[in-house]
Amino acid sequence: MNPKAGDAVALFHVVESDMERVDALITQVVRDENPLVERVAQYLREASGKRIRPALVLLSARAVGRTAPHVVPIAGAVELIHMATLVHDDIIDRADLRRGRPALRRAFNDQVAVLAGDFLFARAFQLLAETGLPPVVRTAADVVHTMSVGEIQQNLERGTLTTEAAYLSRIEAKTATFLAASCRLGALAVGADALTLEALSTYGWHVGMAFQLIDDLLDVTADSATLGEAVAADFQQGVVTLPVLYALAHSARGDELRRALLAAPEEGRLAEVREVLEASGAIQYVQEKAHHLVRLGLDALAPLPPSEAREALSALAHFVVAREY
Amino acid sequence: MNPKAGDAVALFHVVESDMERVDALITQVVRDENPLVERVAQYLREASGKRIRPALVLLSARAVGRTAPHVVPIAGAVELIHMATLVHDDIIDRADLRRGRPALRRAFNDQVAVLAGDFLFARAFQLLAETGLPPVVRTAADVVHTMSVGEIQQNLERGTLTTEAAYLSRIEAKTATFLAASCRLGALAVGADALTLEALSTYGWHVGMAFQLIDDLLDVTADSATLGEAVAADFQQGVVTLPVLYALAHSARGDELRRALLAAPEEGRLAEVREVLEASGAIQYVQEKAHHLVRLGLDALAPLPPSEAREALSALAHFVVAREY
């Protein structure tokens, strides 16, 4: 377990035993009798993350106030789908590292990474089919559909993203849809009514938008030593996030920022990037936007009866904007 | 439509109107409102093949003697899953062409191809979820699971395949499982009993094995001008099929064949490859094996009531071993 994920995991103590069952289930299905395939499966089992999506499934089910045997398999399937998208994303981003280890495409090769993602999708839909709940399968397939379309769009429009609206659509497809669906799936598993399904889904959507806004912001602010460098590299690859978009549009020094971002690293204009970003108010703008989204997410929880699980969902929403990693 | 596929398609006249509905459904779901994504969707819609898997779904349902509204969506989903595996296979094989056109990875890039495959999987499972039949979802997910494991194994063991048993396992995972599942899915869609499910699935498995045997044999024999060249290229990439395995094991000139296969093209030893393959009896051996499998597949159809659909399934089995492309 990534030690940095400790704080996030502490929020999930209400569902701790179920989370252990989710982990055990993943360990059980990501496995193969063929020793070569098992090497890939072992790699996948050891790639542990924050497990936010399965936690949302478990907490949402619990917040409805009921339990059902299918909650844990659905939570497992959601994490498997997330793992599949990460493995495929690393091919797309030509990433060398994932969570501090060589990415699967580096540990093996791009070909195996394509297939390992397909393997994880298949395992997920096997678990979902076993629930006997078609709306659960449909919701999960919708997530994969939305994410793949969003990523195709992002890949083909590299470098042409210029508006905040386009950025928001992108992070919706990338993250908010999935977090909303995780909450909806937990509620579906326990047979929640339409109002409750919508409440939890709305909560998940807003927390997902805030989560991705902060994720992109942390790329800019997390380590001031490399700030500028990472942003400039992203920008030169056509990946633009909200802090940069905001500064380009709202700072009087927008043109200067653009030239500094496009400059070769050896020209040493990274301090300038940092300075313009900070002076433009972009960082504060993104933080306020994330806080606003989290407030809307918390409001959506109001119709749910008070419970430890609802408290944990609230705490998770606060954590999303307060975290520093 | 590939004109070469004409003969195969003629076998499907019993289900011709349903096949048109399958095509219309695929056209409807492989589409996107975003113009960039729609370019990819258009490419996918135009990549038409022989449609054997959806035909097996439709014919199997018809052979049971009932109809159900879900047969066409299931047939569509099966073709979408097949398309997804082809798109991903082309990344894995670094293929430049697919059905005479630039492969998707060439028309766009490897990244888009990864995502387009995921998009097709998602579309397939959306259609399957809408049937409301969890065993249908499960069967389709099992196919993706089996195929991905088989391909991971093939990728990691490149060059070490040395036995006929290993070759048969490979083509089972690659083709027979999917054709068996296509038949089973058609029968599941119309609520067939266990005996009928097993009969159709057994038919599909044997026809699938024969289909892949002949497919691999045609790579060796289809065009005598390039025979030897393609086989040697495959062999040097670690891809070995049954004709070569047989000749290596059973011809007194096995060592000579191995050296000729490993020789650089400019050494001009391809005529030697061709000659040893033909003299070894490998081609006849594979043909007889395929015919034997087809007979077992036809036997499996015996419990089904006589019908036009059963006749078409028989004709398809005969076509699989008689075809020359």
Exposure string of B260-290, with b = 16+ CB inside 10 Å and e = fewer, is bbebeeeeebbebbbebbbebebbebbbebb
Render each residue's pLDDT in chain A as its tens digit; 325 residues: 333 444 555 677 889 999 999 999 999 999 999 999 999 999 999 987 789 999 999 999 999 998 899 999 999 999 999 999 999 998 888 888 887 788 888 889 999 999 999 999 999 999 999 999 999 999 999 999 999 999 999 889 876 667 899 999 999 999 999 999 999 999 999 999 999 999 999 999 999 999 999 988 887 776 555 556 667 777 777 778 899 999 999 999 999 988 888 888 777 787 788 888 889 999 999 999 999 999 999 999 999 999 999 999 999 999 999 876 6
Chain B contact set for A133 (CB, 8 A): 134
Contacts with B152 (C-beta within 8 Å, 6 or more apart), sequence order: A36, A37, A40, A112, A115, A116, A119
Chain B contact set for A128 (CB, 8 A): 137, 141
A98 min Cα distance to partner chain B (Å): 17
Taking only the tens place, the pLDDT of each residue in B13-72 is 889 999 999 999 999 999 999 999 999 999 999 987 789 999 999 999 999 998 899 999
A157 to B36: CB separation less than 8 angstroms, yes or no:
yes
What's the distance, CA A204 to chain centroid? Answer: 11
pLDDT of residue A3: 35
CATH code of the region A3-322: 1.10.600.10
Q: What are phi and psi of B241, to 5 degrees?
A: -110, 175
Share of chain B above pLDDT 70, in %: 93
Element of type H or E holding B101: strand B101-102
Euclidean distance between CA atoms A41 and A32, whole angstroms: 7
Taking only the tens place, the pLDDT of each residue in B205-218 is 999 999 999 988 88
Q: What is the ipTM of this complex?
A: 0.91
CB-closest option in A119, A130, A148 to B122: A148
Helix axes A242-250, A282-300, angle to 10 degrees: 130
Residue from A55, A63, A76 nearest A5 by CA: A55
pLDDT of residue A1: 34
B36 to A156: CB separation less than 8 angstroms, yes or no:
yes
Euclidean distance between CA atoms B209 and B214, whole angstroms: 9
Which of B81, B86, B128, B149 is the mutation pick for testing A, counting most A CBs within 10 A?
A: B149
Residues B72, B74, B76: CA angle, nearest 5 degrees: 70
Taking only the tens place, the pLDDT of each residue in B276-318 is 888 999 999 999 999 999 999 999 999 999 999 999 999 999 9
Contacts with A216 (C-beta within 8 Å, 6 or more apart), sequence order: A171, A241, A242, A243, A286
Contact A202, A301 (CB under 8 A): no
pLDDT of residue A50: 83
A126 to B117: CB separation less than 8 angstroms, yes or no:
no
The answer to whether B121 faces chain A, any CB pair under 8 Å, is: yes
Range B158-184 average pLDDT: 91
- The full set of domain ranges for chain B reads 3-322
